[in-house]
Chain A
Amino acid sequence: MCVVIAILEVKNLSKTFRASRLGGKAHRAVENVSFAIPAGQTYGLMGESGCGKSTIGRMIVRLIPATKGQVFFRGADLLAIKQRAFRPYRRRIQMLFQHPSTSLNPRMTVLDSLREPFLLHDLPGRDCMDDRIREHIESFGLQSELLERRTSQVSGGQIQRIVLARIMLLEPEFIVLDEPTSMLDVSVQAQMMFLLQELQERSGVSYLLISHDLDLIRRCSHRIGIMKEGRLVEQNETEALFGAPKQAYTQELIYNFECMKN
């Protein structure tokens, strides 16, 4: 049996949002979720809106603190690392957000946005960064005229490419894709997912793909986890999961998708 090395392993991850001072109840958004993602693969996390899948993505990149549990990245427990020591990991672990309109600073030009990784992470080649950016964005299907525009003057599909180009400047090993195409048209979605798969083949980057679109997840993931109300109810290799879904909830989700197609 060959041993698959996980690049990222999530163990018993939980998140409880405390009750506000004005009242209300504490909300357990994520409860005891565990999964592992082998290097160079895509793990699809699927569930209805509000099931906690985005919360998991945010905890992995430490945008919000976890209540309990561990996240191992190449063996190091990310959640136990001090803020300052986490900085090098920020470069290696990136996140692509759902809403193109809020992903980039609207007052900056595209070029300024793409310069940020050089300045923040002190990438090599800072003195010729504009040339590198021009060369780099071509492989993302972006033309250099775009660079002078403000990010508010660029379409949603192009913004997602710009953000992805910016992420790839950092040569990350792992990217959380949080509903990367749910605000895009099907034709633009296909272009985007094709590009992501191409990048994976070329650079061996691993993805956590968060989505509520079962067809998309099935098409793009090696392994899938199904979430319901904060818990991971079932996980398996993609075709095994679709071929023989064990949980009633998974069957119900698949049924809901087939409904639309018939």
Chain B
Amino acid sequence: MDIRVEDLYVRFATLSGDIEAVNHVDLTFSQDQITGLIGESGSGKSVLGLTIMGLLQSNATVEGRIFLGERELISLSEKDLCAIRGREIALVAQNPATSLNPSQKVGRQIEEVFRLAGEGKVDSTRRTHELLERMGFSDSERVMHSYPFELSGGMCQRILTAIAVAAHPRWIIADEPTKGLDAVVRNQVYDTFCMVKEQYNVSLIVITHDLLLARKFCDQIVVLYSGRVLEINTAQAIFNNPRHPYTQGLIASLPHLGMRPMPGFSAAFTDQPSGCVFHPRCPYIDEDCRKIEPKLIPVEEGSVRCHRYS
């Protein structure tokens, strides 16, 4: 079952005026592919994930439609959304240190998912054990009776993933699963996601600024900047033949590929440039770029939002 995002706008009312965190996004996340959403902080990638989950804060207004199969999610009531969250689309939230309840043992936090699904206490405990073992914990008994602070960052990340897969959802949205983790732990997280994908037959959306993870793990990559989609393509095409100047800049910023910095910063949401949103930082700037906002233009397997390809 695909997730289809149509004509989506997300606005937040703030003290310094309304800001548009997601601006006219049209996307299809197809069921048999892993999609990576990449972009720098403030590009709207986490907001897009939270919008799909219906978890935005109260100062947000959403316009547009999001379909899970035939069902439209934005118009659903909170009660209907609760039936979808966790069971059909689950979230692996950002930052395990703050996403787990610090005053509850992790076993109980996983059991809760089974209990909510209507299982008894004994069955829930048994299934939590099984799940932890599947997640690669050899001492599931000890882990169940640990508080989050007694486990390492990588282990907490795996616990969050366990909570997400517990109810066998069709979709998992993972928000920055490798942020701040070292290489060894990052590889473990990668292995866990590979296992989850195979054994649970789940589709994934990975929100990340870890470009290497995106390249290795994702089939399709969506590049976001200031709430807009700048480029969509296969992971291979994005890395071997990046078309948008921003994508090129991101890849050139990687330490092992030269670490050449892009000039400037992404524009503040309250002060968006006219024309192409990337033009103040673009090395190929043209007269059109300052005035006219480019459309998404189809190229081979993907599409790119840049006047150079029109």
Q: Which residues of A come within 8 Å of B, CB atoms?
A: 48-50, 155-158, 182-183, 185-191, 193-194, 212-216, 218-220, 253, 256-257, 259-262
Most A CB within 10 A of own CB, among B183, B190, B260? B183
Known contacts A185-B40, A260-B183, A261-B212, A216 near B255 by CB under 8 Å:
yes
Q: Which of B49-57, B246-254, B287-295 contacts A (4 or more CB under 8 A)?
A: B246-254
Q: In the complex, which residue of chain A has the Cβ closest to the Cβ of B250? A: A187
- Cross-chain contact A185 with B41 (CB below 8 angstroms): yes
Choice from A155, A219, A261 contacting B265 with Cβ under 8 Å: A155
Distance from A203 Cβ to chain B, minimum over Cβ atoms (Å)? 20
Known contacts A48-B184, A214-B183, A257-B183, A156 near B256 by CB under 8 Å:
no
- Cross-chain contact B211 with A186 (CB below 8 angstroms): yes
Cβ contacts under 8 Å, B76 to chain A: none
Instruction: Using A158-B265, A187-B262, A190-B260 as known contacts, list a sample of 9 further A-B pairs with CB atoms less than 8 Å apart, ordered by residue number in A.
Output: A188-B41, A189-B253, A190-B261, A190-B262, A213-B182, A213-B255, A215-B254, A218-B256, A260-B216
A-B contact pairs, 23 of them (CB 8 A): A48-B183, A48-B185, A50-B152, A156-B41, A185-B40, A186-B250, A187-B40, A187-B249, A188-B40, A189-B253, A189-B255, A190-B260, A191-B261, A191-B262, A193-B255, A193-B261, A194-B261, A213-B182, A213-B255, A214-B183, A260-B187, A260-B212, A261-B212
- Cross-chain contact A49 with B182 (CB below 8 angstroms): yes
Cβ contacts under 8 Å, B181 to chain A: 49
B259 sits at the interface (CB 8 A): yes
B209 sits at the interface (CB 8 A): yes
B81 sits at the interface (CB 8 A): no
A218 CA to B258 CA in the complex, in Å? 11
Give B144-165 interface residues, CB cut-off 8 Å to A. 152-153
Interface string of B175-193 (1 = CB under 8 A from A): 0000111111111001000
- Cross-chain contact A185 with B265 (CB below 8 angstroms): no
Q: In the complex, which residue of chain A has the Cβ closest to the Cβ of B217? A: A260
Cβ contacts under 8 Å, A191 to chain B: 261-262
Cβ contacts under 8 Å, B253 to chain A: 186-187, 189-190
Q: In the complex, which residue of chain B has the Cβ closest to the Cβ of A252? A: B184
By size class, the interface of chain B is 20 to 34
Cβ contacts under 8 Å, B184 to chain A: 48, 253, 256
A130 CA to B115 CA in the complex, in Å? 61
A158 CA to B42 CA in the complex, in Å? 13
Give B168-223 interface residues, CB cut-off 8 Å to A. 179-187, 190, 209, 211-213, 216
Known contacts A185-B209, A186-B209, A261 near B261 by CB under 8 Å:
no
Q: Which residues of B come within 8 Å of A, CB atoms?
A: 40-42, 152-153, 179-187, 190, 209, 211-213, 216, 249-250, 252-256, 259-262, 265
Q: In the complex, which residue of chain A has the Cβ closest to the Cβ of B209? A: A185
Cβ contacts under 8 Å, B185 to chain A: 48-49
Distance from A257 Cβ to chain B, minimum over Cβ atoms (Å)? 5
- Cross-chain contact B42 with A155 (CB below 8 angstroms): yes
A157 CA to B256 CA in the complex, in Å? 21
A262 CA to B260 CA in the complex, in Å? 21
Most A CB within 10 A of own CB, among B41, B211, B252, B259? B259
Distance from A103 Cβ to chain B, minimum over Cβ atoms (Å)? 15
A107 CA to B55 CA in the complex, in Å? 29
Cβ contacts under 8 Å, B186 to chain A: 260
Cβ contacts under 8 Å, A214 to chain B: 183
Cβ contacts under 8 Å, B256 to chain A: 215, 218-219, 261
Cβ contacts under 8 Å, A218 to chain B: 255-256
A253 CA to B182 CA in the complex, in Å? 10
A212 CA to B183 CA in the complex, in Å? 7
Q: In the complex, which residue of chain A has the Cβ closest to the Cβ of B246? A: A187
A186 CA to B252 CA in the complex, in Å? 9
A194 CA to B261 CA in the complex, in Å? 7
Distance from B146 Cβ to chain A, minimum over Cβ atoms (Å)? 15
- Cross-chain contact B182 with A219 (CB below 8 angstroms): no
A188 CA to B211 CA in the complex, in Å? 13
Distance from A180 Cβ to chain B, minimum over Cβ atoms (Å)? 13
A218 CA to B209 CA in the complex, in Å? 21
- Cross-chain contact B259 with A49 (CB below 8 angstroms): no
Q: In the complex, which residue of chain B has the Cβ closest to the Cβ of A212? A: B182
- Cross-chain contact A193 with B250 (CB below 8 angstroms): no
Q: In the complex, which residue of chain B has the Cβ closest to the Cβ of A158? A: B265
Cβ contacts under 8 Å, B213 to chain A: 260
Q: In the complex, which residue of chain A has the Cβ closest to the Cβ of B183? A: A256
Q: In the complex, which residue of chain B has the Cβ closest to the Cβ of A157? A: B265
- Cross-chain contact B187 with A219 (CB below 8 angstroms): no
A262 CA to B153 CA in the complex, in Å? 25
A83 CA to B286 CA in the complex, in Å? 59
- Cross-chain contact A182 with B180 (CB below 8 angstroms): yes
Most B CB within 10 A of own CB, among A50, A194, A260? A260
